[in-house]
Amino acid sequence: MALLLNIETSTAVCSVALGKDGKLLALKENKEGMKHASNLTIFVENILNENNLTIADLDGVAISMGPGSYTGLRIGVSTAKGICYGAGIPLIAVSTLQSMTKALHDTSNVSDSLINKEKALYCPMIDARRMEVYTAFYNSNAKLIREISADIIDENSFADELSNNEIVFFGDGSSKCKGVIKSENGIFLDNINATALGMVELAENKFKNNELEDVAYFEPFYLKDFVATNPKKNIFK
């Protein structure tokens, strides 16, 4: 039984949720792009003030651990670590893809689109540029079925799985795959984003099971190494 702050910054959405005993108390979100550096601490402050709470009232902080945007993950993890270190409370890490799947199950009536909800697979996709996505498969209980990977999508992607199962594709990486994956068993859902909503129950379960992170040494799950690129324009000219 815990009061947990949940932080999601792995994609273009900045999202903060307050959860108590695995139930949502409050949510702050911005879906207008990568504005995490300016929004995140304000969201944390506002969500606590509006519920007459302080950092000292929290039992822990949960962070969406990735995969996702390198910069977004750094901002979220750094903020979560700072809160935990200053308040002496534990840090909890939640898989971004799993929390996306949990949020889908909790907020969408996706079963109306499925012939067999229990047998269906759920495939969250985070855009990794070009035709690459960070993805995994989960079942109807948001349990991991296929390991997280970085996949380059083409017309043959997931052909074996699609031949035997309905697969629900969603997330900010799924839209670019819709025109490539042609199977009738592929179901694409629009406007489903990473959100702290899906973290609340998962974080509570981890807290109860004492699945905590080392605040000093925890690192996000980037999946791929960060690669710096040269800018197309020389801003000094």
pLDDT tens per residue across span 145-159:
999 999 999 999 999
Examine the domain organization and report whether 183 and 199 are in the same domain.
Answer: no
Q: Tell me the CB-side half-sphere exposure of residue 194, using CA atoms within 13 A.
A: 33
Examine the domain organization and report whether 72 and 152 are in the same domain.
Answer: no
| 8-state DSSP, 118 | T
Predicted pLDDT at 109: 76
CATH number for the domain harbouring residue 140: 3.30.420
Give yes or no for residue 236 having a pLDDT over 80: no
Q: Which phi-psi region, left, alpha or beta, contains residue 184 (left: φ > 0; alpha: ψ -120 to 50)?
A: alpha
Domains held by the chain: number: 2
Give yes or no for residue 229 having a pLDDT over 70: no
Give yes or no for residue 227 having a pLDDT over 70: no
For residue 104, tell me if it sits in a domain.
no
For residue 183, tell me if it sits in a domain.
yes
CA–CA gap between residue 211 and residue 91 (Å, rounded): 9
Examine the domain organization and report whether 76 and 122 are in the same domain.
Answer: no
Q: Tell me the CB-side half-sphere exposure of residue 225, using CA atoms within 13 A.
A: 3
Examine the domain organization and report whether 81 and 123 are in the same domain.
Answer: no
Q: What is the rounded average pLDDT of the residues 99-109?
A: 90
Which amino acid type is present at position 193? N
Rounded to 5 degrees, what are φ and ψ at 44?
Answer: -60, -45
Predicted pLDDT at 197: 96
For residue 40, tell me if it sits in a domain.
yes
DSSP codes of every residue in 5-27: EEEE-SSS-EEEEEEETTEEEEE
Predicted pLDDT at 194: 95
What is the model's pTM?
A: 0.91
Examine the domain organization and report whether 113 and 176 are in the same domain.
Answer: yes
Examine the domain organization and report whether 126 and 58 are in the same domain.
Answer: no
SS3 4: strand
For residue 228, tell me if it sits in a domain.
no
Examine the domain organization and report whether 20 and 87 are in the same domain.
Answer: yes
User: What residue numbers bound the domain in which 132 lies?
Assistant: 109-188
String of b and e for 107-136 (b: at least 16 CB within 10 Å)? eeebeeeeeeeeebbbbbbbbbeeebbbbb
Examine the domain organization and report whether 198 and 81 are in the same domain.
Answer: yes
Which residues are 149's β-sheet partners?
A: 135
Predicted pLDDT at 87: 97
Examine the domain organization and report whether 35 and 10 are in the same domain.
Answer: yes
Q: What is the rounded average pLDDT of the residues 181-208?
A: 95
Banded pLDDT at 234 (limits 50, 70, 90): low
CATH number for the domain harbouring residue 50: 3.30.420.40
Higher-pLDDT residue of 31, 42: 42
Q: What is the rounded average pLDDT of the residues 15-35?
A: 94
For residue 218, tell me if it sits in a domain.
no
